[in-house]
Amino acid sequence: MNYFQLFLSFLTIGAFSFGGGYAAMPLIQNQVVDLHHWLSFYEFSDLVTISQMTPGPIAVNSATFVGIKVGGIFGAFVATIGCILPSCLIVTIIAYFYLKYRHLKMLQDVLNVLRPAVVSLIAVAGVSIILAAFFGENRIALYSLKLHMVIIFAVCLYLLTVKKTNPIIVMVMAGVLNVIYNMFI
């Protein structure tokens, strides 16, 4: 096991995920699934699901999950340290200058320009998760479309956007609906 590669990959994820929340997701997919094949896309998709259900940032959760899978508990330490190291350096430097000069203008301008790009990157990663949910591991075609998943998706989206239901409740409901569908219908 190449611990150095694990460290470097999570260092990259930590250094380039701007905007919090799901911003790290496209980077994790890029490093962990596409480049190094530490997780299959399905395991990655499970990981995003598990992260949504548990406290803790998705990047730290992935570092622990992937680290353990490829290098045991030591791997988890290495990946987690890699993932938080850029934050520790960059945030401390910015906080130091802020507490000295009280000036944040450029930082906020850069973030404003980054945010639209981050939205698009999250959207791209989201599309692949939705396609995986709708089609499973099959080829994307009309005959392989799982209609019940599309319906579960639509119900969830309605609850989230119109009813403003708590995402965790929505997720549990989605899981239960799928169990019911497969057991009884």
Question: For another protein, which is the closer residue by CB, 88 or 140?
Answer: 88
The type of residue at 175 is G
> By CB under 8 A, what part of segment 24-83 binds another protein?
24, 26-27, 30, 45-46, 48-50, 52-61, 64-65, 68-69, 73, 76, 80, 83
DSSP letter string, 28-85: HIIIIIIIT-SS-HHHHHHHHHHHHHSSS-HHHHHHHHHHHHHHHHHHHHHHHHHHHH
Q: What span, in angstroms and rounded, lies between the C-alpha atoms of 139 and 141?
A: 6
Q: Which is nearer to another protein, 144 or 175 (CB)?
A: 175
Residue with tokens 């790009």: 117
Nearer to another protein, 4 or 20 (CB): 20
Residue 132 within binding range of another protein, rule CB under 8 A: yes
1 counts as binding another protein under rule CB under 8 A: no
Cα–Cα distance measured from residue 54 to residue 12, given in angstroms and rounded to the nearest whole number: 24
- Of residues 21, 40, 74, 144, which one binds another protein by CB under 8 A? 21
- In whole angstroms, how close is the CB of 94 to another protein at the nearest point? 5
Whether the Cβ atoms of residue 129 and residue 48 lie closer than 8 Å to each other: yes
Q: Minimum Å distance from CB 120 to another protein?
A: 4
Give, as ranges, the residues between 145 and 174 that touch another protein (CB under 8 A). 149-150, 152-153, 156-157, 160-161, 167-168, 170-174
Pick from 1, 4, 74, 91 the residue near another protein by CB under 8 A.
91
Stretch that binds another protein, among 1-9, 114-122, 137-145 (CB under 8 A): 114-122
104 binds another protein (CB under 8 A): yes
Burial code of 15-43, b = ≥16 C-beta within 10 A, e = fewer? bebeeeebbbbbbbbbbbbeebebbeeee
Q: Which is nearer to another protein, 141 or 183 (CB)?
A: 183
Distance CA 28, CA 47 (A): 11
